[in-house]
Amino acid sequence: MTEPLNGFTGFGRRDPGFVSASQAMRQAETEARMARSDPSSTARLAHEARAANAQALSQATADLGRVGGAWGAPASQTGVLRFTRGGAGGATAFDPDKLALIPPVERRWSWVEIDLNAIRHNATAVKRRLAPGTRLMAVVKADAYGHGAVQCAKTALNSGAEYLGVATVEEAIELREALINAPILILAEPPATAIPLLLGYKVMPTVYSAEFAIQYAEAADALGLRAPFHLKVNTGMNRIGVRHDQVVPFMHQVGFHRALELVGTFTHFATADCAETLDFQIQVKRFIEAVNALRAGGIDPGIIHAANSAAAIRYPDVQFDMVRLGIGLYGFHPCPETFPLIELRPAMSVKARITDARLVPMSEGVSYGLHYRSPGSVKICTLPIGYADGLRRGLSGRVEFLMGEHRVRQVGNICMDQCMFEVDLRTYGTRTRIDPQVGDEVVIVGAVGDAVVTIDEMCDLLDTIPHEVAIGFGCSRLPRVYV
């Protein structure tokens, strides 16, 4: 009998070795229609379906011939994942639970390492600089600046932090679902549509609009709950907040509601990390006047906080009741002035393994645009990390990596998923010759012995701040490993 042809390819139709999702859905819909039109047939269809499944399972087991090996599924699971025919017409089965055991760093040879001991050291170092009774808020927004919010939050809380700060409702929910019970403050006012989430997850919002405050209070009161919040005061940054000379009228406008509870009052400094201090001092003066005005009006401002990492380290006079430790928690100095004041340890390292190593003849180019040309006697090595992983394209040809304690120069344009570096194979003077091979580890950010390559170096080249570069590495496709 002639085999029917496939209308798209003209080739004979063949059994693929599995039932496709679309075929299974069509079959289920057909059986459901039959069952609805003839109820008495339901039991018969169920019996036939069970018999067909049993026969298919038996056939699959027979076709396999052997099942198991490193990633094979046991016979009882051969229907879980059946990908392709193998051997003499036999199906190959894979156990998804065993496949999941392959660690992320072995699926792609590039990763981010986070040193939780460094997080602990930085939190403790700042905590020691605070006056007795002054609280520490760990700011873990943007997935803890790319370092992993849940792990960093737990480490900071175990190192003396008492509060957590985030930017979004989703960030707060992630912490709550990780069973973190510390007070969480959203550092901006969320949309009113998120109010049920705030109340359900016990998350405090920042408040600076009367409309949101009343809706928040009404929703809480309807459930017999309190509506705790922190009041944001705009002292000169002019981004968000109630203007510093309007805080008392604002609180009179909303403070009548019995459910509202003012837990804290805060501001944010625009220039605490700048050498010039005039604007900083103006903001400090305005904030103190606003807090005093609240007290004079019979309003308890609650927890008073203003200092970010730079201010917490540089200016003890503005620590107030709590400081907010953001970039400093992850080991980055917020400004040059803090280097002599405190020792901070970077927690993030970025590493990769060589996926290709080749000799490139003299004058031949490398990567898009061929802007780099081989000088000869060099080996060009490829790493599976690119600008989609946070290694910014603007660093092309401008940065160095570490092989052991040897610095190697990145060459050619950094690609979306890969980049290349050059190793000089010539031997001269006292220079040690290295010969990299596929699988060798390379440090993109971090230290090996006394040699170090830092995110700060990249920031200088890109004219940006560590926050941006660290978040780029941490919130990308790179798996994160805690050490």
pLDDT digits 0-9 by tens, 307-331: 999 999 999 999 999 999 999 999 9
Predicted pLDDT at 42: 47
- Select the more confidently predicted residue: 338 or 30: 338
Known catalytic membership, residue 141: yes
Confidence of residue 291 (pLDDT cuts 50, 70, 90): very high
Residue 430 has pLDDT above 90, yes or no: no
Model confidence at 57, in pLDDT bands (50, 70, 90)?
very low
pLDDT classification of 96: cutoffs 50, 70, 90: confident
pLDDT at 25: 52
pLDDT computed for residue 66 by the predictor: 44
- Please give the Cα distance from 466 to 444 (Å, whole number): 15
Mean pLDDT over each residue of the chain, to the nearest integer: 87
Least confident window among 41-55, 176-190, 246-260: 41-55
What average pLDDT score do residues 419-433 get?
A: 83
Residue 292 has pLDDT above 60, yes or no: yes
Contacts of 292 (CB under 8 A, 6+ apart): none
247 pLDDT tier (thresholds 50, 70, 90): very high
Residue 62 has pLDDT above 70, yes or no: no
Catalytic hit among 98, 127, 141, 201? 141
Q: Is 368 a catalytic residue?
A: yes
Q: Which of 27-31, 79-83, 174-178, 419-423 has the lowest mean pLDDT?
A: 79-83
Residue 420 has pLDDT above 90, yes or no: yes
Contact 322, 311 (CB under 8 A): no
Q: What is the pLDDT of residues 373-414, one digit of tens each?
A: 999 999 999 999 999 999 999 999 999 999 999 999 999 999
Residue 81 has pLDDT above 60, yes or no: no
pLDDT at residue number 325:
98
Confidence band, pLDDT 50/70/90 cuts, at residue 72: low
The answer, yes or no, to whether residue 97 has pLDDT greater than 50, is: yes
What's the pLDDT score for residue 52? Answer: 54
Q: 235-249, 371-385, 420-434: which has the minimum mean pLDDT?
A: 420-434
Residues 79-114, buried b or exposed e (16+ Cβ, 10 A)?
A: beebeebeeeebbbbbbeebeeeeeebeebbbbbbb
User: Would you say 149 and 174 are in contact if contact means Cβ atoms under 8 Å apart?
Assistant: yes
71 pLDDT band (50/70/90 cuts)?
Answer: low
Percent of the chain at pLDDT exceeding 90: 76
Among the ranges given (83-92, 241-250, 266-275, 342-351), the one the predictor scored with the smallest mean pLDDT: 83-92
Provide the pLDDT for residue 12.
47
Encode pLDDT of 119-167 as tens digits.
999 999 999 999 999 999 999 999 999 999 999 999 999 999 999 999 9
* Structure-model confidence comparison of residues 106 and 66, the more confident one: 106
